């Protein structure tokens, strides 16, 4: 059950080039290397069906000046859902890291193709210069493609942790092996806690479970719930995103 990218992907490593990280505000800035330019057919083509349920609550503080009181809080709630697909094309591999083109076709949450580096050690993503941002669901599913997600041989009940830090961002992700169904399917639980400081600071948690194929290094299905909370002097916003994924196509799958 080892996580060896070159063996599992069945592809040769490409020349490495350093990538300068230029992440969106919600992402850390780790160091990584991957192929900087890639052309031709993707090394691997993956398609996931995705369902998203989104709920946002904004709580705004108001001040009751006439009554000389501290005021109260007004609540604003918005919700929505989306169904569609996410495509992940692996276009480069170097030093165990993956270079992936990600796009989403899911109604109002559709997103154009973005190129991102997935760290082979399981720590997280590197957001590249001059690229757009990922949706929450794109970020979650592409991170599960890391070749080092298992971190080595595991037994049922084992847990292991990845930590990633940047000047204003810290995230700690813990995985636990819940069951081994067969050689090509295991069950994993995920818990991630992250904090961003500064003017746009936030805290967040992602919880969920997913089935994983250790022979192909790919999630087969996943159910994740992500909650973030931002607060400033006017109030706070709580954002909850429920995500369900199913792998529907893998160019390396045996037919």
* CATH code for position 58: 2.30.230
* Domain span at 13: 5-248
> For residue 254, is it within any domain?
no
> For residue 253, is it within any domain?
no
- The alpha carbon of 171 is separated from its chain's Cα centroid by a whole number of angstroms, namely 12
Read off the pLDDT band of 232 (50, 70, 90).
Answer: confident
Separation of alpha carbons 22 and 175, rounded Å: 27
pLDDT tens, position by position, 121-136:
998 898 888 898 999 9
> For residue 183, is it within any domain?
yes
Instruction: Tell me the whole-structure pTM to 2 decimals.
Output: 0.79
> For residue 255, is it within any domain?
no
Q: Are 94 and 14 in contact (CB under 8 A)?
A: yes
Read off the pLDDT band of 117 (50, 70, 90).
Answer: very high
> For residue 46, is it within any domain?
yes
Q: Which stretch of 34-38, 63-67, 87-91, 199-203 has the lowest confidence by average pLDDT?
A: 34-38
pLDDT tens, position by position, 21-76:
233 333 443 333 344 445 578 999 999 999 999 998 876 766 554 445 444 556 46
Number of domains in the chain: 1
Most distant pair of Cα atoms in the chain: their distance: 73
Q: Which stretch of 10-24, 74-88, 230-244 has the lowest confidence by average pLDDT?
A: 10-24
């Amino acid at each position: 059950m080892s996580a060896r990218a070159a063996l599992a992907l069945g592809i040769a490593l490409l020349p490495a080039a350093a990538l300068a990280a230029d992440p969106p505000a919600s992402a850390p800035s780790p160091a990584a290397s991957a192929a900087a330019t890639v052309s031709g057919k993707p090394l691997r083509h993956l398609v996931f069906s995705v369902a998203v349920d989104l709920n946002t609550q904004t709580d705004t503080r108001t001040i009751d000046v006439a009554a000389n009181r501290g005021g109260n809080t007004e609540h604003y709630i918005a919700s929505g859902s989306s169904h569609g697909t996410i495509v992940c094309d692996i276009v480069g591999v170097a030093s165990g890291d993956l270079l992936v083109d990600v796009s989403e076709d899911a109604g109002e949450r559709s997103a154009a193709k973005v190129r991102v580096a997935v760290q082979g050690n399981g720590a997280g993503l590197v957001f590249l210069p001059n690229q757009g941002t990922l949706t929450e669901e794109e970020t979650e599913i592409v991170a599960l493609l890391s070749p080092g997600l298992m971190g080595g041989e595991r037994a049922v009940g084992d847990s292991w942790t990845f930590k990633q830090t940047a000047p204003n961002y810290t995230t700690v992700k813990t995985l636990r092996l819940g069951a081994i169904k067969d050689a090509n399917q295991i069950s994993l639980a995920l818990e991630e806690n992250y904090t961003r400081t500064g003017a746009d600071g936030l805290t967040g948690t992602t919880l969920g479970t997913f089935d994983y194929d250790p022979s192909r290094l790919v999630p087969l299905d996943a159910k994740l719930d992500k909650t973030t909370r931002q607060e400033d002097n006017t109030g706070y916003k709580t954002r909850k995103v429920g995500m369900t994924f199913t792998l529907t196509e893998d160019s390396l799958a045996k037919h």
